[in-house]
Amino acid sequence: MESLSTIAANGLEATVSSQGAQLMSLKKEGCEYLWQGDERWWPRRAPVLFPIVGSLRGDHATSAAGPISLGRHGIARNCAFELSHAEDDTLVYRLASNEETLARFPYEFELEMSYEIEGEALRQTFYVRNTGEEDLPFVLGGHPAFNIPAGPERSDSFDQYRLEFAEDWTYATPRIDTSTGLLDFGSRIDLLSNSRALQLTHGTFDVDTLVFEDVPQRTIRLVGPSGHGVQVDFGGFDFLGVWSAAGDAPFVALEPWTGCATATDESDVFEEKRGIEILQPGATSTHSFTMRPF
């Protein structure tokens, strides 16, 4: 049964669900910044992506441990987690591999998700432990979506918002084959030319997800004309997905990824996917990012 737990400190309040260890609310001074889900556009809010990000070719892959069968973004977001630790400003959730996960992803693992308020930011941390006897391949990511308008200002429109980077740079996003969900790194769309800001419109997301590699200083701000928005700092994540749903959805998702599952130029061998991490038996891998509403 799903349960919700809330932490609060320094004017921030965060609520997390045991179902998928998903962040359900992020408030600053009582104002909601996190997208609250709506079936008209997208019912989720901030799912945990593990052990893949994106899609496998035909939802299947081969691996050293046997066949893998995973839908978009993997299995963690659909699993019930155990709340293993709770304090006023910290929540820790745990998921261990089981008969159901092993049938689709034949590797033993333990995934802990920690949410901790640090100053004016919420830190989300992934702890992946290899509890099996063979190397564990995986990719992981966050998927928090944020309201537009953001913060207390409710009159700002979507096309007044922009993405701000730490410095000027030039970048072109790989295309996504919307029929397969696979990234095409050989075909790109120009986004930035010696600039640190990308103005957004709903049409920006006609190509589906913008996929950024090697973002300067691993930081991004979503900000509107009134000065309200959210900053995400994601050191240790080499990719950032930025997405909004079709139909003029009133949110933007800022998604730190360690890698992506499959691209059009790759085979179906899971160990060869772009950005994959290989974790030895008994080892633990840790990745975290922070969300700071302002």
Q: What is the DSSP string of 124-182?
A: EEEEEEE-SSS-EEE--B---EEESS-TT-----GGG-EEEEEEEEEEEEEEEETTTTE
Which percentage of the chain shows pLDDT scores above 70? 98
CA distance 277 to 289: 17
SS3 assignment, position 93 = strand
CA distance 251 to 273: 30
> Is residue 199 pLDDT above 70, yes or no?
yes
Here the tokens at position 33 are 């910044």
Most confidently modeled of 168-182, 207-221, 252-266? 207-221
Query: 144-155: per-residue pLDDT in tens?
Result: 999 999 988 777
Closest CA to 192 of 213, 217, 178, 219: 213
Tell me the average pLDDT of the chain. Answer: 95
Closest CA to 203 of 158, 240, 163: 158
> Is residue 273 pLDDT above 80, yes or no?
no
> Is residue 269 pLDDT above 80, yes or no?
no
Place of tokens 């996917």: 273
State residue 274's pLDDT score: 85
> Is residue 267 pLDDT above 90, yes or no?
no
Q: Give the residue with greater pLDDT, 104 vs 272.
A: 104
CA distance 237 to 249: 26
> Is residue 156 pLDDT above 90, yes or no?
no
State residue 271's pLDDT score: 66
Domains and CATH numbers, the chain: 4-293 (2.70.98.10)
> Is residue 113 pLDDT above 80, yes or no?
yes
Here the tokens at position 267 are 């085979």
123 pLDDT band (50/70/90 cuts)? very high
Average pLDDT over residues 16-31: 98
Contacts of 38 (CB under 8 A, 6+ apart): none
SS3 assignment, position 85 = strand
CA angle 105/290/192 to nearest 5° reads 90
> Is residue 11 pLDDT above 70, yes or no?
yes
> Is residue 272 pLDDT above 70, yes or no?
no
Sign of the CA dihedral running 71, 214, 124, 279? positive
